[in-house]
């Protein structure tokens, strides 16, 4: 399980030029995201984001160490507040467990996935990789989860000379583009070092100071589910 620390930014001609100087575009690919929630939006109202990307399940949820090391200081730096930190879970057995924990009132019905995950303690085994790409109709629908958002993204990924920093430039098919400076750390890893790397990269790219930038899903919700978007804003989830 890893923690994704990232900062979104608007990529203009200057930052693109710098990015091409300090980084290498290692990948350009297109993928479809399908996001799931209960009809009452129980997950996203808890800042839990379940999706299928390229058919594989992924869950993002807030880090349990809500206050990272850097935030034990008197005041988190402005730069740190612009960064999000989410735990990223890709093992379906772990996703299932986490969802059960979040949705305490889910059906007690035994789902096919809980049976086939009983031997899946190896989170990196091929079995799990295969299992991750199971169709949704089994356990997800048993948990009353429905797809509420579906869009395709064209992504260019750059690796930077700064160790462990990636930059993604995304163009979503609903007409929104956004950049992300991203560092992955293991659970319990050095959050401050990750934030410093992101801060240095943002400065190099000339990314403007204290402006928070919307992610694709924020914009998608704003356009397609304005009432839910307003609720997420009012609860400071977005
Ligand atoms: C965590 C989250 C959402 C799920 C989508 O996360 P995001 O990082 O936007 O996905 P993507 O595809 O752009 O990047 P990848 O996962 O490939 O690295 S939707 C909303 N959130 C919370 C959130 C937030 N509160 N603030 C900001 C700036 N972004 C996301």
Ligand 1 atom with the shortest distance to the CA of 60: 1
Cα–Cα distance for residue pair 171/153, rounded to 1 Å: 5
What kind and span of H or E run contains 36?
strand 23-37
pLDDT score at 142: 87
Q: Is 46 exposed, middle or buried (0-12, 13-18, 19+ CB in 10 A)?
A: middle
Cα–Cα distance for residue pair 151/170, rounded to 1 Å: 12
Beta strands in 55-203 (DSSP E): 56-62, 84-89, 146-160, 165-172, 176-186
Q: What is the CA radius of gyration of the chain?
A: 18
Q: Does ligand 1 lie within 6 Å of residue 7's CB atom?
A: no
pLDDT score at 163: 80
Instruction: Answer whether 1's CB lies under 8 Å from 86's CB.
Output: no
Q: Whose CA is nearest to atom 23 of ligand 1?
A: 238
What single-letter DSSP state applies at residue 153? Answer: E
87: CA distance to ligand 1 center in Å?
11
Ligand 1 atom with the shortest distance to the CA of 88: 16
Instruction: Mention every residue, 6+ apart, whose C-beta is less than 8 A from residue 180.
Output: 6, 7, 8, 9, 167, 168, 170, 215
Instruction: Mention every residue, 6+ apart, whose C-beta is less than 8 A from residue 159.
Output: 23, 24, 26, 165, 166
Cα–Cα distance for residue pair 152/132, rounded to 1 Å: 20
For the chain (238 residues), the mean pLDDT of every run of 10, in chain order, is 92 91 94 95 95 94 60 56 92 92 63 40 35 59 92 96 90 97 93 92 86 94 97 95
Q: Does ligand 1 lie within 6 Å of residue 9's CB atom?
A: no
Ligand 1 atom with the shortest distance to the CA of 214: 28
pLDDT score at 64: 65
Q: Does ligand 1 lie within 6 Å of residue 215's CB atom?
A: yes
Q: Does ligand 1 lie within 6 Å of residue 238's CB atom?
A: yes
Instruction: Answer whether 51's CB lies under 8 Å from 68's CB.
Output: no
Residue 114, helix vs strand vs coil = helix
Q: Does ligand 1 lie within 6 Å of residue 60's CB atom?
A: yes
Cα-based distances in Å from 200 to 15, 107, 185, 197: 13, 47, 17, 5
pLDDT score at 1: 79
Cα–Cα distance for residue pair 27/74, rounded to 1 Å: 40
Residue 8, helix vs strand vs coil = strand
pTM of the model: 0.84
């Amino acid at each position: 399980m890893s923690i994704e620390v990232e900062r979104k930014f608007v990529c203009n001609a200057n930052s693109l030029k710098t990015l091409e100087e300090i980084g290498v575009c290692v990948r350009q690919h297109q993928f479809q995201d399908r996001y799931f929630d209960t009809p009452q939006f129980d997950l996203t109202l808890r800042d839990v984001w379940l999706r299928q990307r390229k058919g594989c399940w992924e869950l993002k949820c807030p880090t349990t160490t809500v206050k990272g090391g850097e935030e034990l200081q008197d005041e988190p730096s402005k730069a740190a507040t612009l960064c999000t930190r989410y735990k990223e879970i890709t093992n379906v057995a772990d996703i299932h467990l986490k969802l059960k924990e979040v949705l305490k009132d889910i059906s007690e019905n035994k789902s096919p996935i809980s049976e086939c995950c009983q031997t899946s303690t190896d989170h990196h085994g091929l079995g799990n990789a295969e299992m991750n790409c199971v169709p949704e109709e089994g356990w997800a629908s048993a948990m009353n989860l429905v797809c509420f958002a579906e869009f395709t993204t064209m992504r260019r990924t750059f690796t930077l000379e700064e160790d462990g920093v990636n930059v993604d430039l995304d163009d979503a098919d609903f007409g929104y583009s956004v950049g992300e400076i991203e560092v992955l750390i293991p659970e319990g890893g050095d959050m401050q070092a990750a934030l410093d790397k992101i801060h240095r990269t943002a400065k190099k790219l000339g990314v403007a100071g204290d402006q928070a930038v919307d992610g694709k899903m924020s914009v998608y919700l704003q356009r397609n589910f304005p009432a839910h978007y307003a609720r997420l804003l009012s609860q400071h989830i977005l």
